[in-house]
Amino acid sequence: MSHDYGFFSFESKDEVLAKSKEFWNPGKTQFWIDEGVPLVIDRREGYFIYDMSGKRLIDTHLNGGTYNLGHRNPEVVSAIESAMTHFDIGNHHFPSLARTALAEALIAGAPPGLTKVVYGSGGGEAIDIALKTARHATQKRKIVSIVKAYHGHTGLAVATGDDRFSKLFLSEQPDDFPHVPFNDLAAMEEALVGRDVAAVIMETIPATYGFPLPNPGYLEAVKAMCERYDALYIADEVQTGLMRTGELWGISKHGISPDIMVTGKGISGGMYPISAVLVNEKAAGWLTEDGFGHISTFGGAEVGCIAALKSLEICSRPETRSMVHYISDLIGRGMRSIQDLYPDWFVGIRQNGVILGLEFADPQGAKFVMRRLYEHGVWAIFSTLDPRVLQFKPGLLLTPELCEELLDRAQVAIGLARDDVARAGRKAS
C-alpha cells in the first residue's frame, strides 16, 4: 500500500525507515526498531497517534507535555489558521502586537513577582536565556543544577544536564556548572555557600530522571538558600507547568515565587514552536540596559504567540483544572490497584497531578513495560536517565471513558511485562 501525503509519498513503512536512516538519523531510527517500538507516527488526533500501519496508540508521553491538550487540538488549530490570515513570524527588532498580548497574559497567570517575558523558539533557547539573564543580574557565572538534570541541548543548557548529552560534543563545563544530588540540601548548601553562584536551576519535578518527587520542603529550602547566598532561583516549568500538577504552574504548589521561570513545550499546543522566560524585576535588568542583548529571529514568532495565547487560555480554564483533578484521582487510584496486583514488580508510583513516574523492579524495567504498552495500544516512554521508571503523563482533557480504557490496557501490559522480565532473568541465569 502506497502512502501518499500530497507533498511527498512513500511506498511502504520500510522505505521510510530506510530513508530515515540514509538521510536523517540512523542511530535514532535503529534504536526504536531494536527497542520493539517501530513507530512512525502518521495520523494524530486528540490523545491518539497512529502508526503508519494504522495501529492506534493512546499517547501518554505527549512529548513531555507538548500535547497536553491533545494532538491538533481543534481550538489551537483554528486559532493558528485564523492568525495566519493576518500574522507571520513578525520582526524581532520591533515591538509586536502578539508578543505583547501573550506577555501580558503570561504575567497575569504567573507566580507573583514575575513581571516581564523574554521569548525563545524552543525550550533549550529559553533555558539559555534564563541562564544568561541570571548571570547578567548577579554578575556571577556559576549555575548549579542537580545530578541527572535535563534542561535541553543548547550551549548553556546542555552543561546543566547529565554528561550523557554534553560529553559527546565536548561540551561539559564542570567548573561553571556544578551538579549536586537531588533532594540533598547539605550538598546544595555546600555549592551555594561561596556566594559565587548566579542561579540554581531546577525542574519542579525532574522529568527525564523519572519524576523523582522533591522531598517535602526541599524546593522551599533551596529557594531560601538562594536568597541567603545571593543566587537566583530558576524554575524550569517546561514539563511541570500548564496545569499538569493541577495548578497552572507546579512551582505554585510549593508557594515559591521564582526569580525566573521557563516554559515551553505545551505552551503552544504542539502546533508551533515557541518558548518563554518569565523574569522578575531583579532579573530583568538587561531588557532595559540593552534590549537587543538576546536576539532570536523565530523567538516569540507571532503566529506562535497566538497559539500560545489560546493554549494558555485553555490550560487556565476552571473546567480544565477541575478535570485534571478528576483525572489525577482516577489514574492514581487505578495505578494503585494495578500495583496491588503486582507489588513485587510495580514497586512505586510517583505522582503529582497528571505527572506520574511508575517504578519497576528491574534496572531496565520501564523498557519492558513500554514495549508491552506499545503492543497494547499505549505510548509511554521510559526515563532516559533512570530506565527503571516509566514516564506516564495522561492528557489534561481526557474523558472518563478514555482514562478507563487506558487503565485497562496498562493493567494487562504491566502484568505481561512482569512475566517478560522473569523470563529474561531465567534466560540470563
Residues within the interface to another protein (CB under 8 A): 75, 78-79, 82-83, 85-86, 213-216, 245-246, 253, 314, 317, 319-320, 322-329, 332, 336, 349-354, 397, 399-400
Q: How far is the CB of 240 from another protein (least distance, A)?
A: 11
Per the listing, cell 554578575 goes with: 139
Q: How far is the CB of 94 from another protein (least distance, A)?
A: 17
Comparing C-alpha atoms, which of 232, 231, 225 is closest to residue 280? 232
Q: Which residues does 407 contact at the CB level (< 8 Å), separation at least 6?
A: 330, 331, 334, 335, 338
8-state DSSP, 167: G
Q: How far is the CB of 378 from another protein (least distance, A)?
A: 21
Measured from the CB atom, the residue of 85 and 429 that comes closer to another protein is: 85
Measured from the CB atom, the residue of 207 and 284 that comes closer to another protein is: 207
Q: How far is the CB of 413 from another protein (least distance, A)?
A: 21
Q: How far is the CB of 342 from another protein (least distance, A)?
A: 15
Please state, in angstroms and as integers, the Cα–Cα distance from residue 241 to each residue in 198, 224, 308, 335, 352, following that order.
Answer: 23, 21, 13, 23, 12
The answer to whether 241 touches 393, Cβ cutoff 8 Å, is: no
Measured from the CB atom, the residue of 93 and 336 that comes closer to another protein is: 336
Q: How far is the CB of 150 from another protein (least distance, A)?
A: 20
Task: Find the farthest-apart pair of alpha carbons in the chain and give their distance in angstroms, rounded.
Answer: 66
Say how many C-beta atoms besides its own lie within 10 A of residue 420's C-beta: 17
8-state DSSP, 267: G
Q: How far is the CB of 248 from another protein (least distance, A)?
A: 13
Measured from the CB atom, the residue of 37 and 205 that comes closer to another protein is: 205
Beta bridge partners, 428, equal none
Q: How far is the CB of 328 from another protein (least distance, A)?
A: 4
Per the listing, cell 537566583 goes with: 232
Measured from the CB atom, the residue of 9 and 78 that comes closer to another protein is: 78
8-state DSSP, 70: -
Q: Which residues does 323 contact at the CB level (< 8 Å), separation at least 6?
A: 396, 397, 398
How far is it, in rounded angstroms, from Cα 224 to Cα 205? 18
Measured from the CB atom, the residue of 263 and 320 that comes closer to another protein is: 320
Measured from the CB atom, the residue of 293 and 332 that comes closer to another protein is: 332
Any alpha helices (H) in 109-192, and if so which ranges? Answer: 123-138, 157-160, 163-166, 185-192
The answer to whether 268 touches 307, Cβ cutoff 8 Å, is: yes
Measured from the CB atom, the residue of 122 and 394 that comes closer to another protein is: 394
Could you tell me how far CA 394 lies from the centroid of its own chain? 13
How far is it, in rounded angstroms, from Cα 348 to Cα 188? 26
Measured from the CB atom, the residue of 353 and 387 that comes closer to another protein is: 353
The answer to whether 148 touches 209, Cβ cutoff 8 Å, is: yes
Q: How far is the CB of 372 from another protein (least distance, A)?
A: 23
Comparing C-alpha atoms, which of 306, 287, 308, 262 is closest to residue 111? 262
Q: How far is the CB of 399 from another protein (least distance, A)?
A: 6
Measured from the CB atom, the residue of 54 and 216 that comes closer to another protein is: 216
